[in-house]
Structure 1
Amino acid sequence: MARIEDVATHAGVSVGTVSNVLNRPGAVAATTRDRVLAAITALDYRPNEAARSLAAGRSRTLGLIVPDVTNPFFADLARGAEQIADQRDVVVMLYNSGESTEREQRYFGRLETQRVQGVLVSPVHEVGTAVDDLVRRGTPVVLLDRGSGKHGLCCVSVDDHTGGDLAARHLIGCGYRSLAYVGGPLSVPQTAARLAGAREVTQGAGATLEVIETRAVTVAEGRAAGTAIGVRRAGQRPEAVFCANDLLALGVLQAVTRQGLRVPDDLAIVGYDDIDYAAAAAVPLTSVRQPRAELGRVAAGLLFEEIDSPEQHRHRQVVFQPELVVRQSCGVSR
């Protein structure tokens, strides 16, 4: 395997010049840089990443912490962040907090010891002091799918209150007067905001909104909620259900159809996120779409802005607007 000294000899330059080409190419004249790059290609040289990180004081990695890697929403978000990092020849290390605040805090410490360039995080609950400590010690942090509140960090999110409004307004416009909201825990800001948006619309329209709180936003929790709804008699169950995400909606759909209910004739369903599985469901789901990959791309872009120019950087809060995608699971009018 070729060494950096071999590249220097082949190009007729010093080892320091080769190092500059690899780490600070703008500091090297174009003709010299081209000669070094040609030598790297000819010798099939592979830089020692550990040595590069040691010299720079930072690794060529970003940390990304999400609550649930099995949720397609976070997979798409990670894909967007990776697209931006790849343009910078930076690797994204994905960590799954598993909805555990303790594990999330442990990962913050691990990423700091690994000298990552920065951290993207979708917090389990409220942003804690662990994030503040990380930033104070020099590691930039951007919040995903969450506002920054008093912490004043860069953040990228979606207006979930408006998302809940869109879902409830559509169902009421279709003629449904008895609605239920399936989601939880309600201590999670996104879940609570979607409920608040739906509640305002239903109260203003004189409709009813039952709240069925779940322990998580998973297909299994959706099945449990759907089973509980499906055993009720007609007139005692809601006419339509708005779920906090598509996984819950898919679970409700599976449960009620197994119990013999027809969607949307006996029960209309609206999900949230518009993951790929929503359109592919047995009854394609109406869903409130979030720009999932774009959230990741914008967040990574903000993080690199701060990494490149920490003194000039100004924290920004980017809020996207959701979009309702209407499919067969709720009908169009009654």
Structure 2
Amino acid sequence: MAQTVSIKEVARLADVSVGTVSNVLNRPEKVAESTRIRVQTIIEQTGFVRSESARQLRAGSSRMLAMLVLDMGNPFFVSVAKGAERAARDAGLGVMLGNSAGRADEEAYYLSLFAEQRVRGVLVTPADHSGRHVRDFARHGIPFVHVDRMVPESEGCSVSVDDVVGGTLAVRHLLAAGHRSVTYISGPMGLPQCRDRHAGALAALAEAGLPADALRHVEAARLDVASGIDAGARLLGLRDHPTAVFCANDLLALGVLQSLYAAGVRVPDDMAIVGYDDIEFAAAAVVPLTSVRQPSARMGRTAAELLIEETGEEAADHRHRAIVLQPELVVRGSSLRRPA
């Protein structure tokens, strides 16, 4: 293993003080050009890397944000993370990523780890519906922003999408196509996103003068493809098949599509499908998937910008905000034909 070069060794080889090397690294404008070039040459030759933990102790702040997402297996959260990473990079910061996988115990583990690392701030999509772990984390005094979850401004900043509007867009589209037998396939209804999308679907029925019981509901164990396949099989087991399905996310919808395809059910001729998120795979499905698009990358970037503002030089002027972005419906082949 190669020996780590210390800042003292760099100073000795460059024939300068340790303070001069520190200035080259942190305040280069204070060092004469010839000295700066000599020190930088030694740094390049020796492969010296500054200790970020030591720098953090001296400066009293970290250059790392942390992000805890609900499911890194979902391309939606990958896109959110990319948006956050881009904003952090533009500000000269990095992002440490954790995946709770929808588990409260994993959420508690990562929040504790982020606190130990004294990160600059945290972007979090809570897995614990009670919010207990986030409230516990708040005691450390590290700023945080809720992502894909709206909270009162008194509890901090948040960036979310209006999922009630999204659910309304999806079911309004199906009703406009002539469907009167619609089933909503959700993940666990403990998730606010699933509840809000269901509320939006009911709002579309009320808008059309239809009763709430015109919408049937199948609750899946998780928001993934495997759960969608299982939900599709349960759907086919119903006495009267619906003519249309609205799924709480695209992974569920793609699973349902697989299940229907395997059973010989034609989409959209026999059953229309609408998903949610508009992940990259939606347009590439065997039947291109109609989906409610969330501005995922914008959500991540906006959340990171709020966190950077709260932890930056103008933090004293920061005011918590709850930013709600708007979804849009992207219509593709999975919902285009009218029922017979």
Per the alignment, residue 296 of structure 1 pairs with: 300
Per the alignment, residue 39 of structure 2 pairs with: 39
Q: Deviations over 1:119-154 (max 9, x none)?
A: 110001435243234334320101100012375211
Shift of 1:106: 2.2
Per the alignment, residue 277 of structure 1 pairs with: 281
Per the alignment, residue 190 of structure 2 pairs with: 187
Q: 1:14 to 1:127 in 2, by over 3 A?
A: farther
Q: Does the 8 A contact of 2:21 with 2:39 survive in 1?
A: no
Q: Secondary structure at the match of 1:186?
A: coil
Aligned-partner residue type, residue 249 of structure 1: A
Aligned-partner residue type, residue 82 of structure 1: E
Q: Does the 8 A contact of 2:177 with 2:336 survive in 1?
A: yes
Per the alignment, residue 60 of structure 1 pairs with: 63
Per the alignment, residue 230 of structure 2 pairs with: 224
The CA RMSD measured in Å over matched residues stands at 2.3
Per the alignment, residue 263 of structure 1 pairs with: 267
CA distance in 1, matches of 2:318, 2:208: 45
Shift of 1:215: 1.6
Shifted more, 32-41 versus 261-270: the winner is: 32-41
Alignment of 1:247-258 (within 5 A): 247-258=251-262
Q: Which runs of 5+ in 1 are unaligned?
A: none
Q: Which runs of 5+ in 2 are unaligned?
A: none
1:199 matched to 2:202: yes
Q: 1:20 to 1:176 in 2, by over 3 A?
A: farther
Give the TM-score, by structure 1 length: 0.90
1:167 to 155, 165, 170: 170
CA distance in 2, matches of 1:273, 1:195: 15
CA distance in 2, matches of 1:251, 1:268: 14
Q: 1:171 to 1:38 in 2, by over 3 A?
A: farther
Give the TM-score, by structure 2 length: 0.89
Per the alignment, residue 314 of structure 1 pairs with: 319
CA distance in 2, matches of 1:7, 1:32: 17
CA distance in 2, matches of 1:21, 1:241: 62
Per the alignment, residue 49 of structure 1 pairs with: 52
Shift of 1:17: 4.7
Shift of 1:63: 1.4
Q: 1:155 to 1:127 in 2, by over 3 A?
A: farther
Shift of 1:35: 5.5
Q: Does the 8 A contact of 2:108 with 2:133 survive in 1?
A: yes
Q: Secondary structure at the match of 2:198?
A: helix
Per the alignment, residue 84 of structure 1 pairs with: 87
Shift of 1:205: 1.4
Task: Tell me the percent identity.
Answer: 49
Q: Deviations over 1:36-58 (max 9, x none)?
A: 36732553142122322332344
